[in-house]
């Protein structure tokens, strides 16, 4: 997409450069004619001023458009930081639970056992074996998937005495692709399915 915008701007700049001599000739002819017959009114703008304004707009657009595209990518990655941060907190809570009980928390009350809950309007739903905390921000993900029903990846959340895998599933940009993250007992954080 960036190449298309750059090519369009280059084409517009080339058009201005190629038509500039024509406008300059027209301007010279107008000056010669105006000396013979002075006009009643002066024109509001000349082709030179018009070219200067258009060139300024193209220059500003050439700077602004790539920066806007970079900003768009950064703002899309911002929700992913929510998943990474929360999965890191789940990892720490599971380690704390393991140090007290010599097993990882599992089952439908996993999040209660590890005493963890996401703060704010989370965009992601969080899963540990048998337990789910749905997303509060339902702008894009209306109904979170469940393992075995509309689950977007092969890996599923699981817990055993010696290990666990917890996951986060969300939709960043209102398309059909979900953003899926997972973390395990070895603190391996993976983006299993990228929605950006």
Checking if the pLDDT of 33 tops 80, the result is: no
Per the model's pLDDT, the better-predicted residue between 172 and 101 turns out to be 101
Q: Worst-scoring range by mean pLDDT, 27-31, 128-132, 178-182?
A: 27-31
CA distance 181 to 169: 7
Q: In this model, does residue 137 exceed pLDDT 90?
A: no
Say if CB 142 and CB 61 are below 8 A apart: no
* Range among 5-9, 83-87, 141-145 with highest mean pLDDT value: 83-87
Which tokens in the block code for residue 16? 């201005």
Q: Using 50, 70 and 90 to split pLDDT, how confident is the model at 155?
A: confident
CA count, 13 A, side-chain hemisphere, 44: 1
Q: What is the pLDDT of residue 58?
A: 80
pLDDT over threshold 90, residue 88: yes
The residues spanned by each domain of the chain are 2-38+45-74, 78-193
Largest CA distance in the chain: 101
pLDDT exceeds cutoff 60 at 44:
no
Is the CB of residue 88 less than 8 Å from the CB of residue 116?
no
Q: What is the pLDDT of residue 80?
A: 83
Average pLDDT over residues 12-36: 67
At residue 20, the pLDDT reads: 62
- Residue 40: per-residue pLDDT: 60
More confident residue, 94 or 2: 94
Distance CA 76, CA 161 (A): 36
pTM of the model: 0.59
What 8-state DSSP symbol labels residue 190? E
Tens-digit pLDDT profile for residues 97-131: 999 999 999 888 999 999 998 888 888 889 988 88
pLDDT digits (tens, 9 = 90+) for 50-77: 777 777 788 777 777 777 666 655 555 5
**What stretches of the chain show up as alpha helix (H) in DSSP?**
2-36, 47-101, 110-113
Tokens 């058009």 correspond to: 15
pLDDT of residue 90: 93
Which stretch of DSSP H or E encloses residue 169?
Answer: strand 164-170
**How confident is the prediction for the chain on average, in pLDDT?**
78
């Amino acid at each position: 997409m960036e190449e298309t915008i750059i090519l369009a701007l280059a084409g517009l700049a080339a058009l201005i450069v190629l038509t500039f001599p024509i406008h300059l000739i027209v301007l010279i002819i107008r000056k010669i004619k105006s000396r013979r017959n002075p006009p009643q009114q002066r024109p509001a703008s000349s082709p030179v001023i018009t070219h200067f304004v258009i060139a300024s707009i193209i220059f500003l657009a050439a700077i602004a458009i790539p920066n806007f595209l970079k900003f768009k990518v950064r703002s899309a990655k911002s929700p992913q930081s929510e998943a990474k941060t929360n999965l890191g907190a789940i990892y720490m809570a599971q380690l704390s639970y393991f140090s007290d009980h010599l097993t990882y928390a599992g089952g439908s009350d996993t999040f209660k056992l590890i005493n963890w809950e996401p703060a704010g309007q989370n965009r992601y739903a969080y899963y540990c074996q048998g337990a789910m905390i749905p997303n509060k921000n339902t702008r894009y993900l209306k109904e979170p998937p469940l393992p075995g029903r509309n689950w977007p990846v092969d890996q599923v959340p699981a817990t055993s005495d010696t290990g666990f895998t917890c996951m986060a599933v969300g939709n960043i940009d209102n398309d059909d692709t979900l953003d899926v993250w997972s973390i395990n007992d070895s603190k391996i954080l993976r983006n299993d399915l990228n929605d950006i």
